Amino acid sequence: MSNLLETYRPAGHARSHPPLAMLDRASHRLRRWLTGKPGTAADYRRRAEWIRAASCQLQGLSDGELRLLLAARAKALRRTKARMDGGIDGFLAGLVVAAKRVHGFEPHVEQMMGTLALDGGWLAEMATGEGKTLVAGFGAILLAAQGRRCHVLTANDYLAARDRDLLEKLAAWCGIEVGCVTGETKPPLRAEGYAKPIVYSTAKDVLADFLRDRLGAGAAESSVLRLARALAADEVTSGTRTLPPLDTVIVDEADHVLIDEAVTPLIISQKVANPALAQAVKAADHLVAGLLEGTDFIVDRQHREIRMLESGRAKVAGCRDRFPDGWSSAARRAELLDTALQARAFFLRDHHYVIADGKVVIVDESTGRMMPDRQWQQGLHQAVEVKEGLEPGDPTVIAARMSFQRFFRLYRQLAGLTGTAWEARHELDEIYGLKVLRVPTHRPCVRVHEPDEIVTAHEKWQAICAHIESMHRTKRPVLAGTRTVADSERLRRMLQERGHAVEVLNAINHEREAEIVASAGEFGRIMIATNMAGRGTDISLAPGVAAMGGLHVLAAERHASRRIDRQMFGRAGRQGDPGSARAFASLDDDVVVRNAPRWARRGVRWIERMAPVLSRPLSVLLIGVSQRIAGKRDASRRRHLLAADYRLEESLGVPPEVS
């Protein structure tokens, strides 16, 4: 019966609890601080140094002898006693030698520290350029050698296929197969890919297959009832399921997936024709087009709210006949008008979305990447389409949904890698039970962080262009980071008008991402990128560039998350190379407008006129406070949404693993 349960049980098991309340979180932090987790950075360094020393003794083995050694040590790792008696370190010593023969270099001590951290269930924070791709591969091989199924989740399909190809030869030395499942993998081949001990994929692909399996199994029934029905019908097989039971996962760029994407649910849906909605959205857009901000309605951009004034209500009164049946009631009309106003006031082209192939495509604000498979709900997507003069598409009906936040809590063991996780360490611990280990850099970081340049919104872009030109005259490469597609295009036009050749990487021009980013370290190169900044692709300096100061990174504004600032700045000064970074900031930047109290902004502007010498430090302070407010607000929102998921489960009586 145990084998039957293992075969038929749902892919993953909900072993986690709802998010903690405030006092519980404080108690949880204290308890975790006192007890900690087994292993510290010092412990892992000592073990990593032993592994490197032991690998030197294996250099004389022939290829055949090394393969036999790795196979024997991998077999021994299936026994708990062998793992406890140093079997893991011995296996990794052989893997270091194999890596040198396959890739031509030996992993350094810090990379072995990261590998051990992954095996221990940590989130390893490793700086840009420290070889996180190799560390993830080493960790996956180590877990697979212990008999575990391991998913390695990357940022996109390109990186999943690239990393699989890099690891395939090394894993073969240990007799381990490596699979890859991307958005282009056909359904019959997806189950075959997931059957491999190591699978490279993306979070959205794995979660989508998880939800499809749940729909196919019958989401309204518990796993026990499904098993009972299968036993009665003598149909207990695993052939109907694409995804095997969830075991271990290594998440690359984990801060983006576990924090930034945490509250964005992945939805399995289908489009349903609704001509009445299309007519109603068009009518609402036509009505609000004649309303004036400040006269007919007020926009609160800080809280993203719109309040209709008396004159506005008078203009849209008596418009019932313009709406089709089902949408003509006062409540439905008010909802449609509010949605149409929100589409015009808060959703901006080349910021929140782009127009591609005649369609509105949402842009992920945290990465700058397009998300063609997603739609805003409740008529908002159709309202944006009508605003842009497009024919509204059919709305979608949700068949199944789950947030990444809940999905990753179903894995037996969760580990990850990223360059920026320290700021979110408390949230990662509370939500996922995932502690952050800061792995030191292999070489000291010599990147120079220049003070922020505080400018007004009017003079910002001219100041940025002048700064880029001053760097360009020295032939140093420059990477300019912008928050939105519109800003990247604006900066490109301004620099081209001044006679400069510019490469742009944004949601509109993303096909050559890896190629563009990899060449950013060449002499005199000027590159503009949105937040994606080629995560997962190294920027190597051309010969001679290091002597001139290395890559210079410029941020056009501070972001709501300090982690994103660090990600951008981390593109310079990788692996001990020289480099520098500077941010341009204004009190009119989005992070300040949306988060800083109005009285604080007015106060700083007043001091700017009365005592200019104090304006800069106060502006820097206010920007920092705005980032902290934004971080706390977003963390609270993620926590409340997760709690709402659990309340929904309890009210509907839906089993956690299938909801």
Question: How confident is the model over 244-293, as pLDDT tens digits?
Answer: 999 999 999 898 889 888 777 777 777 778 888 888 899 899 888 888 88
Of residues 566 and 138, more confidence is placed in 138
Q: Read off the pTM.
A: 0.78
CB contact at 8 A, 16 and 252: no
Q: pLDDT value at position 7? A: 31
Q: Provide the percentage of residues in the chain whose pLDDT is more than 70.
A: 84
Domains and CATH numbers, the chain: 2-9+33-267+404-438 (3.40.50.300), 273-394 (3.90.1440.10), 448-586 (3.40.50.300)
- Summarize pLDDT for 145-182 with one digit per residue, the tens: 999 999 999 988 888 999 999 999 999 999 999 999 99
- Summarize pLDDT for 101-144 with one digit per residue, the tens: 999 988 999 999 999 999 999 999 999 889 999 999 999 999 99
- What whole-number distance in Å separates Cα of residue 67 and Cα of residue 120? 25
Q: pLDDT value at position 507? A: 58
Pairing state of beta strands 297-300 and 305-308?
antiparallel
- What whole-number distance in Å separates Cα of residue 329 and Cα of residue 324? 10
Give me the amino acid identity at 505: L
- Summarize pLDDT for 303-362 with one digit per residue, the tens: 778 888 888 888 888 787 888 887 778 888 888 899 999 999 888 888 888 898 888 988
Lowest-pLDDT range, 51-55, 493-497, 570-574? 570-574
Q: Which residues contact 423 (CB under 8 A, 6 or more apart)?
A: 561, 562, 563, 566, 631
- What whole-number distance in Å separates Cα of residue 18 and Cα of residue 5? 26
Q: Which of 445, 433, 425, 349 is nearest to 390 (CA)?
A: 349
